[in-house]
Copies of this chain bind each other. A is one copy, B any other.
Amino acid sequence: MSTRIKIKALLESTQTDIDVTVKGWVRTFRNNQFIALNDGSTNNNIQVVVDFENTDPALLKRITTGAAISVFGHLVPSLGKGQSVEIKAKTIEILGDSDPEKYPLQPKKHSLEFLREIAHLRFRTNTFGAIFRVRHSLAFAIHKFFEERGFVYLHTPIITASDAEGAGETFHVTNFDLNNVPKGDNGEVDFKQDFFGRSANLTVSGQLEGELGAMALSDIYTFGPTFRAENSNTTRHLAEFWMIEPEMAFADINDNMDTAEALLKYVIAYALDKNKEDIEFLTQRLLDEEKQKPQNERSEMTLTEKLQFCLDNNFERLTYTEAIDILKESTPNKKKKFQYLVEGWGTDLQSEHERYLVEKHFKKPVILTDYPKEIKSFYMRQNEDGKTVAAMDILFPGIGEIVGGSQREERLEKLEQRMDELGIPKDELWWYLDTRRFGSCPHAGFGLGFERLVLFVTGMGNIRDVIPFPRFPKNAEF
């Protein structure tokens, strides 16, 4: 018997009239004759033709949806449409049965909500097979992009004692028996007795540590999990998600925008190339889904067109101030259709405003820069106007903010002054300030939310569907 060949390779093979072995899971079995077999290497199935007249009926009965089988047979050109080759089975071996009465994944359409409850099995559907292969390609393309540009992949810590960034609520990490947390004489928790000898959290961002690397290695990036203990049950938030955070020494906000735009285009192009069939499948899925919506709520472009459009057009770059002017004069603002009316400079932009700019006004990805310092983080570089900082956010259609970044404040005095203003403890961040004390230089970086990128490229609507096992309030199953 020949070695197993993956179905992707078989379907791409130009050779026929050879014996092959394939292994995979039965998707369907029609007329006791045609097995659609999938092994996850591609969205497509290979058709296995069973000589049912000469096959033990007891075996035929075990060829059920979900069963794992090994097939040895002859590869021949296919007469069926949509496939170039098929296998005439010589022997079929059942590796693992799947009781059709009990198997949760029936050969019919299941709701995404239901599939979320059986996340351990949803990999076996067309939709989730495609999503996770695309997710893989996007992750690989990110590493490849940075490798080609000489960035060093830095594993910044997941457990951290610093919560100085104040990016949101953090999860505590502790070794204490929670039934019996040790207290000191003052009645407060005695963290000296905890594993790390101090209070520790899960990281909300690797940026500050990433900057330490960049101030020696020039260009670094992180790609790791980050955490927010926010009680938000939305289609855009997870308690555990993956972020990519590049940090570049000797770079300003323009270099930052150029790198972020190049990165996004590079990885989308990579997935379009490597995952053509998956993205075609997801495009059709979205079309089918949108058929249930009224005409005016459907996308103007298909998923594939939208991705291609991103590659073919420069992202629109404008300042926050210019965006406010556009929004103030916009029809939905004048007609009071916005939930939050845009009345003046200084206000934070809401999702509805971002969507208006991206989806209605510019109809393409937008990079907003130079936000009011009051609505941005302490580490962003203060502009000469005394009012704004060199921040930049990239807004994507249907997603909103996909990238947030800035040139960093490299001037010790300005940085310390801003930390004082915001009450950020300087002694806790002594190491961060040290980089401004010794050989500081202009530098910039950004954070890319990986799941939001996967959402965009797969056309899915809920962030819980683009990570294998989503973590959100009251859910840590699997």
The chain A residues found within 8 Å of chain B, CB to CB, are: 4, 6, 8, 23-26, 39-41, 66-68, 70, 95-99, 102-105, 120-121, 123-124, 129, 132-133, 135-136, 139-140, 143, 147, 150, 152-162, 169, 171-176, 178-179, 181, 183, 188-189, 195-200, 202, 209, 212-213, 215-219, 224-225, 227, 229, 231, 239-240, 242, 249-250, 410, 431-432, 434-442, 467-469, 471, 473-478
Contact = CB atoms under 8 A, between A and B. Distances in A.
B174 A171 contact: yes
B157 A471 contact: yes
Contacts of A189: 178-179
Contacts of A132: 152, 154, 213, 217
29 contacts: A23-B250, A23-B441, A40-B216, A40-B217, A68-B249, A68-B439, A96-B439, A96-B441, A99-B437, A120-B212, A120-B432, A123-B213, A124-B215, A135-B155, A139-B153, A156-B469, A157-B469, A158-B158, A158-B240, A159-B202, A160-B478, A161-B477, A171-B195, A172-B172, A196-B471, A196-B476, A209-B468, A212-B468, A431-B478
B136 A152 contact: yes
A158 B225 contact: yes
A103 to B, nearest CB: 5
A108 B478 CA distance: 52
B478 A175 contact: no
B172 A129 contact: no
Contacts of A147: 140
A6 B150 contact: yes
A209 to B, nearest CB: 6
B440 A41 contact: no
B178 A175 contact: no
Contacts of A174: 171-172, 174, 178
B216 A129 contact: yes
Contacts of A440: 68, 95-97
A154 B249 CA distance: 31
Contact of A225 (B4, B225, B437): B225
A477 B150 CA distance: 28
Contacts of A158: 158, 225, 227, 240
Contact of A181 (B99, B133, B181): B181
Contacts of A104: 438
B95 A442 contact: yes
A154 B128 CA distance: 12
Nearest to A442: B95
Given A103-B438, A196-B476, 8 more contacts: A40-B216, A120-B431, A121-B434, A123-B213, A132-B154, A157-B469, A171-B195, A196-B475
Contacts of A212: 120-121, 123, 468, 478
A146 to B, nearest CB: 8
Nearest to A211: B120
A399 to B, nearest CB: 19
A429 B438 CA distance: 52
B68 A161 contact: no
Contacts of A6: 150, 218
Contacts of A95: 250, 439-442
Sorted nearest first, the 10 A-B pairs with minimum C-beta distance are A96-B440, A123-B216, A40-B217, A197-B474, A68-B441, A120-B431, A196-B476, A68-B439, A124-B216, A95-B441
Contact of A439 (B41, B67, B150, B157): B67
A438 B176 contact: no
B195 A473 contact: yes
Contact of A153 (B136, B200, B442): B136
B469 A209 contact: yes
A322 to B, nearest CB: 28
A153 B140 contact: yes
Contacts of A155: 135, 225, 242, 467-468
B179 A152 contact: no
Nearest to A142: B143
A66 B439 contact: yes
